[in-house]
Amino acid sequence: MRKVIMLTALSLLLVNCMSFSDRAMRPVRNSITSQLPEIRLEKEMAVALGGGMFNFLDVINSDEIDLSAVDHLQVAVYQVHPRGGEVNFSDEVFQQSLLAKDASLTWERIVKVREEDEQVWVFVGMNEKDFALEAVSVFVFERDELVMINMDGDLNQMLEYAFEPARGHRGAYNAG
């Protein structure tokens, strides 16, 4: 009986920490379509994970990383209409759209990849007052699909963990 109660409680926790709505990404979607009125974005799939999920993962995680620093992770996939058309997504379109989602952050593009059939943009949202990285957003446009990924929280700690293996090795891999 105790196992059933534990599994039920765990299931409720996970369900309450997860959503299949694109509500969090709608300001971005709406801003994109207002800037590019010739296109329409139709949701194919969306998943949003809340901080409770990351707190749970942090409890079962044996690494040193504190996943509870992540507040939200949202992923939304949109079909771009008209299909097969040339869409001119630009840094400015995405930057303005991210401001529609969170105007308190300064959004900067840090990565842009353009290949024949795929384009990728990575933006970071900085809280300039606290000099803190609070959000990372990724946009991937491939054929007729636009994928939007957003993660927010106290991401400075995540960066420190990611770069820890390289500490003290700056310049150690120079070609000689």
CA distance linking residue 127 with residue 114, whole number of Å: 28
Burial of 78 (0-12, 13-18, 19+ CB in 10 A): buried
CA distance linking residue 95 with residue 112, whole number of Å: 13
Q: Report strand pairing: 132-142 vs 118-127.
A: antiparallel
With contact defined as beta carbons under 8 Å apart, do 159 and 165 qualify? Answer: no
The pLDDT tens digits for 56-81 are: 444 445 555 555 566 678 899 999 99
The pLDDT tens digits for 136-153 are: 999 999 989 999 999 888
Assign a CATH topology to domain 15-166. Protein Transport Mog1p; Chain A (3.40.1000)
| Predicted TM-score of the model (pTM) | 0.75
CA distance linking residue 147 with residue 123, whole number of Å: 14
Report residue 93's pLDDT band, with 50, 70 and 90 as the boundaries: very high
Three-class SS state of 42: strand
Element (H, E) at 108: strand 106-114
